[in-house]
Amino acid sequence: MTTATATAHANIALVKYWGKRDAERMLPATSSLSLTLDAFHTTTTVDLTDGADVDVALDGEALTGAALTKVQRFVDLVRGRDDVDPDVARRGARISSANTVPTGAGLASSASGFAALAGATAAAYGLDLTPRDLSRLARRGSGSASRSVFGDFVVWHAGDLEDPERGDLTSFAEPVPAAAGLDVAMAVVVLDAGPKSIGSREAMARTVATSPYFPAWVQHTEVDVREAEAAIAAGDLERLGDLAEASAMRMHATMLAARPAVRYLAPASLEVLDAVLGLRAAGTGAWATMDAGPNVKVLCAREDLDAVARVLADSGRRRVIPARPGPGLAVTR
Ligand code: 2P0
């Protein structure tokens, strides 16, 4: 097959991934757990060409510089595999990608982006991978992309910590079984859709290297992942929400302790966190999480989504995107 198209949806971590133990193999310091959302997705088409070059257009604009290199390296990883036919491996690719995620705004565009790229590139170069192996492949493009291969609740295992080769084989994502009746949603409060102050990859590396809180972060996160899985299996949204908010706050505390500090929280973010506290004080289950940007995502019951979104919008002062659980990676050849 010489052309393939794939669609992947963004995911938001409820128990966060922050820090790598092996940057070359893209192995995380901890496991993490996420919710795939229906509201943001990336669709990517990979067409093999007769020449060897790889060019990429994102939303109609040619990618250049470091962003292009990142995609080219990923394609090289696929073409360099033993299971790709050598005649096919020599071919280049024309890649076009369309995003409904505001790029670089902490809305996880790299997650849907690299999951879609993994699905389309593997298929175009003739590979027939299992979802688990697609997840391992997507991880090499961007860690959080491993989770976007699956829909709904997803856990990404840190994998074998002792041996990097075994780590590469065992660090993949998979679905988390949820109790029937656990109907969740997320209100995404978009505070700034512009590019972020520091990329998450560099910010993670700085946190690992300089934050004295990082070891405590690693220790707590493994416990949080197991508790979140248990809360999802039990259908306990309050427990899950409490864990999710705590994980986000601890992640930001850990990065604030780096030198120089990594700070994504903006004054407007803190206002939203106050609004979430207000919702809870008024008896509505709502829990905040934040990623590598100022936006705040608020987990709630699906039946409360409209009311939560209305309060967070604050009479039209803020842009709120309502989101529900979304599907996993879909590939068409
Ligand atoms: C997450 N984030 O778990 C965490 C929480 C942001 C904050 O994964 O270096 O683009 O490509 O593996 O996945 C964003 O970082 O980083 C991220 P790389 P990625 O969703």
Assess whether 46 and 114 both reside in one domain: yes
Question: Sign of the C-alpha dihedral, residues 96, 153, 30, 271?
Answer: positive
The number of folded domains in the chain is: 2
**C-alpha to C-alpha distance for 177 and 232, rounded to whole angstroms:** 7
**Residue having the nearest C-alpha atom to atom 12 of ligand 1:** 143
What is the Å distance from ligand 1's center to 33 Cα? Answer: 12
Distance 28 CA to ligand 1 centre (A): 10
Q: Are 145 and 248 within one domain?
A: no
Name which of 138, 159, 164, 156 is nearest 17 in CA terms: 156
Note the pLDDT of residue 33. Answer: 99
The alpha carbon of residue 123 and the mean position of all alpha carbons in its chain are separated, in whole angstroms, by: 22
- 114, 229: one domain: no
What distance in angstroms lies between residue 67's CA and the mean position of ligand 1's atoms?
16
- The overall average pLDDT reported for the chain is 95
Q: Which of 10-14, 80-84, 107-111 has the lowest mean pLDDT?
A: 107-111
DSSP labels, 135-157: HHHHHHH-GGGGGGGS-SEEEE-
Instruction: Return the axis-axis angle of helices 109-124 and 131-141, rounded to nearest 10°.
Output: 120
The rounded Å distance from CA 283 to ligand 1 centre is 32
1 CA from centroid of ligand 1 (Å): 31
Indicate whether 74 and 150 sit together in one domain. yes
pLDDT in tens, 288-303: 999 999 999 999 999 9
CATH number at residue 173: 3.30.230.10
Q: Is 59 found in the same domain as 166?
A: yes
Residue 316 has pLDDT above 60, yes or no: yes
- The band of 24, judged by pLDDT with boundaries at 50, 70 and 90, is very high
Q: 143 with 266, same domain?
A: no
Give the C-alpha separation, 257 to 26, whole Å: 23
Q: Where among 145, 161, 179 does a domain terminate? A: 179
The closest alpha carbon to 311, from 267, 264, 274, belongs to: 274
Q: Are residues 171 and 236 in the same domain?
A: no
| Residue to probe by mutation, ligand 1, list 137, 197, 200, most atoms within 8 Å of CB | 200
Which residues make beta-bridge pairs with 27? 22
Query: Could you tell me the two tokens for 202?
Result: 């560099």
In ligand 1, which atom is closest to the CA atom of 28? 12
pLDDT at 105 over 60: no
Q: Is residue 329 assigned to a domain?
A: no
Residues with CB under 6 A from ligand 1: 13, 16-18, 26, 32, 108, 110, 142-144, 200-201, 291-292
Can you give the residue range of the structural domain that contains 227?
184-323
Q: How many whole angstroms from 17 Cα to the centroid of ligand 1? A: 6
Supply the DSSP symbol for 198. S
153-190 pLDDT, tens digit each:
999 999 999 999 999 999 999 999 999 999 999 999 99
Q: pLDDT confidence of 197, banded at 50, 70, 90?
A: confident
Q: How far is the CA of 246 from the centre of ligand 1 (A)?
A: 17
The model's pTM is 0.96
The protein residue with its alpha carbon nearest to ligand 1, atom 14, reads 200
Percent residues over pLDDT 90 in the chain = 93
Q: What is the distance in A from the centroid of ligand 1 to the CA of 49?
A: 31
Give the Cα separation of 258 and 214 in Å (integer).
Answer: 9
pLDDT band at 106 (very low <50, low <70, confident <90, very high): low
Q: What is the pLDDT of residue 333?
A: 85
Same domain, yes or no, for 174 and 271?
no
Compare 121 and 108 and report the one with higher pLDDT. 121
- Residue located nearest, by CA, to atom 8 of ligand 1: 144
**Mind listing the pLDDT tens digit for each residue in 109-156?**
799 999 999 999 999 999 999 999 999 999 999 999 999 999 999 999
Give yes or no for residue 232 having a pLDDT over 90.
yes
Ramachandran area for residue 316 (φ above 0: left; ψ -120 to 50: alpha; else beta): left
- Cα separation, 192 vs 326, in Å, equals 23
Residue 108 vs residue 223, higher pLDDT = 223
Q: Do 237 and 253 share a structural domain?
A: yes
Q: Which atom of ligand 1 is nearest to the CA of 144?
A: 13
- The residue to mutate among 110, 155, 157, 290, having the most atoms of ligand 1 within 8 angstroms of its beta carbon, is 110
Residue that terminates a domain, selected from 142, 159, 179 = 179
Same domain, 171 and 204: no
pLDDT of residue 193 exceeding 70, the answer is: no
Is 330 contained in some domain?
A: no
Residue 57: the pLDDT is 97
Q: Are residues 169 and 28 in the same domain?
A: yes
List, in order, residues 6 or more apart from 98 with CB less than 8 Å away.
42, 43, 44, 59
The whole-number average pLDDT for the span 16-25 is 97
